[in-house]
């Protein structure tokens, strides 16, 4: 199987003020695969995932060194337009965060920002995105309902649909199921493994079983370093590094 590298991270260092949160990280993310980031809290997983669509730009006193390339092009170059980057690299967060608007307007928000005004075109995008996020059947009869009035699991799928509506290449998910019950979690996992046919997915998770169940590759983070990155089946059956082994099998400290 020949794989295309979608994102290349090289010697990436990141500081929040004086604090160095990432100490020169190298990572390859392959196209149409699910890459999971695992590791204890404060190890840099969320920090790294945020650098992949420059969410860290919003953090004061945050600076980076090193490179992040998307399809071989540096995303931190001056030529890159942020809106455009975030259209290509969408994000879903831990807490479902739909806008306090109708379901329809939530999904249409992105396409509208990117200049689509035509009603029938928007209708089409909304339907397609909700279908891709496996929630169309549940909400199709009340698209005008406030997105905050539906369940947490449904809200999260609305957020995924919202991210898909601008047709990104990459979907970043920062603990997308940690606020959800097991049934909603299983729906999201099912959905994510479907989505990898069309998207490159990067997911931070505290749930190691989740990483083992759905990801193709896993990167293990510890104290701002990536200790090991490999095929998930390798990481979970016979990792190369003792630290990975200890963490995965629950021998901490």
Partner 1 sequence: MRRAYDEELEKLHRQFFQMGNRVNEAIYKSIKAFANHDKELAKQVIDEDIKINEMEHQLEHDCIELIALQQPVTADLRKIITVMKACADLERMGDHAVSISKSTIRVKGNKRNTMIENKISLAGEKIKVMGQEIIDAYIQYDTQKAREIAHKDEAIDTLADEIKKASIDEMRQDPELVLGATDYILVSTYIERMGDYITNISEWILYFETGEIQELNTHHNYS
Name which position in 212, 219, 221, 222 contacts partner 1 (CB under 8 A): 212
Q: Which residues in 214-233 contact partner 1 (CB under 8 A)? A: 214, 232-233
List b or e across 212-227, with b for residues whose CB sees 16 or more CB atoms inside 10 angstroms: bebbbbbbbbbebbbb
213 binds partner 1 (CB under 8 A): yes
Q: Report the distance separating Cα 194 and Cα 144, nearest Å.
A: 27
Our CB check for partner 1 shows the closer of 129 and 185 to be 185
Report, in Å, the least distance between residue 214 CB and partner 1: 6
Report, in Å, the least distance between residue 193 CB and partner 1: 6
Token digits for 111? Answer: 């396409």
Size of the site for partner 1 (CB under 8 A): 12
4 binds partner 1 (CB under 8 A): no
DSSP of 146-193, one letter per residue? BGGGS-HHHHHHHHHHHHHTT--SEEEEESTTTTS-HHHHHHHHHHHH
Report, in Å, the least distance between residue 73 CB and partner 1: 34
Our CB check for partner 1 shows the closer of 14 and 201 to be 201
> What's the angle, vertex CA 101, arms to CA 98 and CA 107, rounded to 5?
60
Report, in Å, the least distance between residue 177 CB and partner 1: 11
Strand partners, 225: 222
237 binds partner 1 (CB under 8 A): yes
Name which position in 104, 220, 236, 247 contacts partner 1 (CB under 8 A): 236
Q: How distant, in Å, are the alpha carbons of 26, 76, 86, 116, 122 from that of 48?
A: 11, 14, 15, 32, 33
Q: Which residues in 166-205 contact partner 1 (CB under 8 A)? A: 186, 189-190, 193
Task: Report helix, strand or coil for 243.
Answer: helix
Contact 12, 67 (CB under 8 A): yes
Report, in Å, the least distance between residue 208 CB and partner 1: 9
206 binds partner 1 (CB under 8 A): no
11 binds partner 1 (CB under 8 A): no
Judged by the rule CB under 8 A, the positions of this chain that interact with partner 1 are: 186, 189-190, 193, 209, 212-214, 232-233, 236-237
């Amino acid at each position: 199987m020949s794989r295309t590298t979608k994102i290349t991270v090289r010697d990436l260092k990141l500081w929040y003020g004086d604090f160095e949160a990432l100490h020169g990280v190298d990572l390859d993310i392959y196209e149409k695969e699910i890459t999971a980031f695992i590791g204890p809290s404060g190890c840099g997983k969320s920090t790294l995932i945020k650098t992949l669509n420059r969410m860290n730009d919003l953090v004061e006193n945050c600076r980076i060194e090193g490179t992040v390339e998307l399809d071989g092009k540096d995303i931190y170059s001056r030529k890159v337009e942020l809106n455009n980057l975030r259209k290509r690299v969408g994000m879903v967060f831990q807490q479902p965060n739909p806008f306090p608007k109708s379901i329809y307007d939530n999904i249409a928000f992105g396409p509208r920002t990117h200049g689509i005004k035509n009603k029938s075109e928007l209708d089409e995008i909304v339907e397609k995105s909700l279908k891709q996020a496996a929630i169309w059947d549940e909400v199709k009869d009340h698209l005008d309902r406030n997105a905050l009035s539906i369940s947490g699991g449904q809200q999260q799928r609305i957020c995924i649909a919202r991210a898909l509506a601008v047709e990104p290449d990459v979907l970043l998910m920062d603990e997308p199921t940690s606020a959800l019950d097991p049934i909603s979690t299983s729906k999201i996992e099912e959905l994510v493994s479907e989505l990898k046919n069309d998207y490159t997915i990067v997911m931070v998770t505290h749930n190691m079983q989740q990483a083992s169940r759905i990801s193709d590759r896993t990167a293990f983070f510890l104290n701002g370093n990536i200790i090991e990155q490999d095929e998930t089946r390798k990481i979970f059956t016979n990792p190369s590094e003792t630290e990975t082994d200890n963490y995965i099998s629950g021998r901490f400290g």
